[in-house]
Structure 1
């Protein structure tokens, strides 16, 4: 069974500032029952420290529900019968050591690629944000100079108009940004 990275990316949620995958989604990908996957994890609990496996509290479950609801075509119900295990990227990698099928290995490789793609995409955002901020600051400075020069020219024109013909109305209204 072949899985596309985009389908897997839709199964990645954010809890505690970490990207995670739910046990039920992983079970579907691996072609096993959720109960069987969780039993394998429980038998090998020492392989899944807190930074590999998250057992969410009630507020985190609510956050997870809201993330699931916002995804189109989600097959999850609005409630969980049991609190799901949430696997971080390292936890997903560790699953390959407790699930030994060839299918599990291939699925694991695809999942790792999805996490890597997300990480590189997020890493690209930081330099782009800095460039946009720099362009915005430079543009603001440029507009400030333009408005100052227009105001200066307007003042000179107003002084000239008053000296030559004091009864004529001003030609241009002052433009600029309001404070």
Structure 2
């Protein structure tokens, strides 16, 4: 799985928006989730509700992307934050390391790829495939018609050959031996 596909797999839809979890972003940026969230809190005015929001406990419980562990001390103490595409872009102004910049570029490309994939609905892809199948079927039918034409021509030629051979055989049946032409050697018995 390449980097773009890995990032795309971490983009989820929550509350009708495509978002990424704070822990996934922190992992990509190479920092702890706590450090990422502290940097966001220090710059909270840059992250309005349409850039970032915190999941509710109910969203975490019914979501398959956030798993709560039942062992003691393994449950979520704080509900995770999720960042929309604009929130991820804003993170680049908060996290200024070269790694953060490169990761942000990759994430933006992943969001664009997801958006393009969703804007090119499956129906148009299916229609394109159906058109290709129709064109292929038409081509195959033309090839078969051409092959049948060749076969018909060949059949006519074979029939002519068979007729000619039949005529030759009929002539051979009426064959009579003709006198030989040429010089005859005298028979030795004739001279005596």
TM-score of the pair, normalised by structure 2: 0.58
Larger radius of gyration: 2
Q: By how many angstroms is 1:67 displaced?
A: 3.9
Counterpart of 1:94 (choices 83, 90, 96) is 90
Structure 2 counterparts to residues 78-157 of structure 1, below 5 A: 79-125=75-121, 128=124
Provide runs of 4+ in structure 1 moved above 3 Å.
76-79, 129-132
- Alpha-carbon displacement from aligned partner over 1:54-101 (angstroms, at most 9, x marks no partner): 11122322343x2457xxxxxx85853320110000000000000010
Are 1:35 and 2:31 counterparts? no
SS in 2 for 1:120: helix
Q: By how many angstroms is 1:12 displaced?
A: 1.0
Count of residue pairs the alignment pairs up: 124
* Distance in 2 of aligned mates of 1:67 and 1:46: 27
Q: Which residue of 2 aligns with 1:14?
A: 13
Structure 2: gaps (5+ residues): 132-192
- Alpha-carbon displacement from aligned partner over 1:91-126 (angstroms, at most 9, x marks no partner): 000000000101100000000000000000000016
CA contact (8 A) 2:54 2:81 kept: yes
- Alpha-carbon displacement from aligned partner over 1:105-164 (angstroms, at most 9, x marks no partner): 0000000000000000000016528959xx9xxxxxxxxxxxxxxxxxxxxxxxxxxxxx
Q: Which residue of 1 aligns with 2:49?
A: 50
CA contact (8 A) 2:55 2:80 kept: yes
TM-score of the pair, normalised by structure 1: 0.62
Distance 1:63 1:116, change over 3 A: farther
* Distance in 2 of aligned mates of 1:60 and 1:129: 33
Structure 1: gaps (5+ residues): 70-75, 136-179
* Distance in 2 of aligned mates of 1:63 and 1:35: 24
> Cα RMSD between the aligned structures?
2.5
